[in-house]
Amino acid sequence: MRYWRFTLLLLLLMSPLAYSQQQYSEAACILLQQQIDRFSNQQLSAYQDSKRQFDKHCRNPIPATDKPLSLTNIPAKPAANNTTVSMAAPASDNGAAAENFDIGAMMLSLFTPYIPYIVGVLLFLILPGLLIALIFGNRSRFLGAKAERQLHRLLVRDLPAGYIHYRNLILETAQGDLTEIDHLVLSPVGIFVIEVKNYQGWIFGSEHQPQWTVQHVKRKHSFQNPLQQNNKHTAAVKFTLGIGMQDGKLVHSIVAFSDRAEFKTPLPAQVCFIQQVAAYHKQFSQPCFSYEQLRQFAARLNMAAAKRRTLRKRHLQQVKSRQ
């Protein structure tokens, strides 16, 4: 986030230059006016450039400071009463203008027309990152939401008719806390609780290993075993739907990774890639829930989905309290 803040500060510093016109001094404007008068009959590029500079930077010229002129090369002229009087010859207009001519302002005027384009390119490059930071907080959350959206499109397209799909469902556990489920599919052949991961790099982990590892280039870090993480989600589904031990095996846990991941250890049976989730569902063809049971399950899940906004606030508070 500190890089985005630095870039925003840089843009704020540059924006006054992009949309304001610095005014020349009176002497510089006099020079420009002389050039305009000189080339007015010829209509050359020098005339057009001088006219453009005069129109932009001489609307409100900066007045010259009053400084006494010190002329040391002019000898003193004796007066009639034998006293020496210093004569101050008026300086020419061209000399005064040359003395007060602002080179920096002239150079800035050459680059000022291009500053809006530079600012526009910078905004085009960093605006996506700024939006990600403002909406999602960080890049990892954005990538996770992107993977969940990808799976949502695939499930809507590939699931058979009669399957009910829930996304970002927040349920209460038997212990009283809340947990968020990425995807839940309610079907006659079972209930599928899906956890989505969008890690990039090599993945190392086994079914019963508490921590898995992801390595990308020279970076490596550990994360909680997603199968164990999803066990909490499946327990919340069973608690919400009132499913007992005898039907517990009908609630299936699935962990779906994006194709940015590459497994360097054997894949556990419940782990697959996002593109394979629909095919994973098709392994189950034997109906296990009646129509009445599915109707009751859907009614309870719909109630939880209707209270999603309120439950999300409580869930965020619980997460912050744990941190």
Q: Domain holding 250: CATH number?
A: 3.40.1350
Residues 188 and 296 in one domain: yes
Do 273 and 212 touch, CB atoms closer than 8 A? no
Q: What is the pLDDT of residue 289?
A: 92
Look up tokens 């695939």; give the residue: 154
Mean pLDDT of 302-323: 86
Q: How far apart are CA 37 and CA 312, in angstroms?
A: 72
Q: What is the pLDDT of residue 82?
A: 47
Using the 8-state DSSP alphabet, how is residue 180 labeled?
Answer: E
Residues 114 and 162 in one domain: no
If we measure between CA atoms, which residue out of 247, 212, 19, 250 comes closest to residue 112? 19
Residue 215 forms beta bridges with which residues? 202, 220
Residues 199 and 312 in one domain: yes
The residue with greater pLDDT, 236 or 30, is 236
If we measure between CA atoms, which residue out of 215, 206, 207 comes closest to residue 260? 215
Look up tokens 């304001």; give the residue: 20
Q: How far apart are CA 308 and CA 116, in angstroms?
A: 44
Do 251 and 191 touch, CB atoms closer than 8 A? yes
Residues 179 and 265 in one domain: yes
Residues 201 and 311 in one domain: yes
Residues 12 and 43 in one domain: yes
Q: How far apart are CA 301 and CA 237, in angstroms?
A: 9
Residues 59 and 144 in one domain: no
Residues 318 and 178 in one domain: yes
Q: How far apart are CA 185 and CA 253, in angstroms?
A: 11
CB-count burial class (<10 Å; 0-12, 13-18, 19+) for 156: exposed
Q: What is the radius of gyration, based on Cα positions, of the chain?
A: 37
Contacts of 146 (CB under 8 A, 6+ apart): 198
What is the sign of the dihedral through the CA atoms of 248, 249, 250 and 253? positive
Residues 272 and 317 in one domain: yes
Q: How far apart are CA 33 and CA 35, in angstroms?
A: 5
Give the number of domains in the chain: 2
Residues 16 and 41 in one domain: yes
If we measure between CA atoms, which residue out of 233, 232, 208, 213 comes closest to residue 223? 213
pTM of the model: 0.59
| Residue ranges making up the domain that contains 119 | 2-67+74-134
Question: What separation in angstroms does the CA of 241 have from each of 150, 171, 279, 286?
Answer: 27, 10, 25, 20
Residues 160 and 246 in one domain: yes
Binned at pLDDT 50, 70 and 90, residue 318 comes out as confident
Two tokens, residue 189: 């052949």
Percentage of the chain beyond pLDDT 90 is 37
The residue with greater pLDDT, 114 or 290, is 290
Where among 83, 112, 134 does a domain terminate? 134
Q: How far apart are CA 167 and CA 148, in angstroms?
A: 9
If we measure between CA atoms, which residue out of 179, 159, 160 comes closest to residue 171? 179
Residue 122: pLDDT over 60: yes
Q: What is the pLDDT of residue 91?
A: 45
Q: 21 in helix, strand or coil?
A: coil
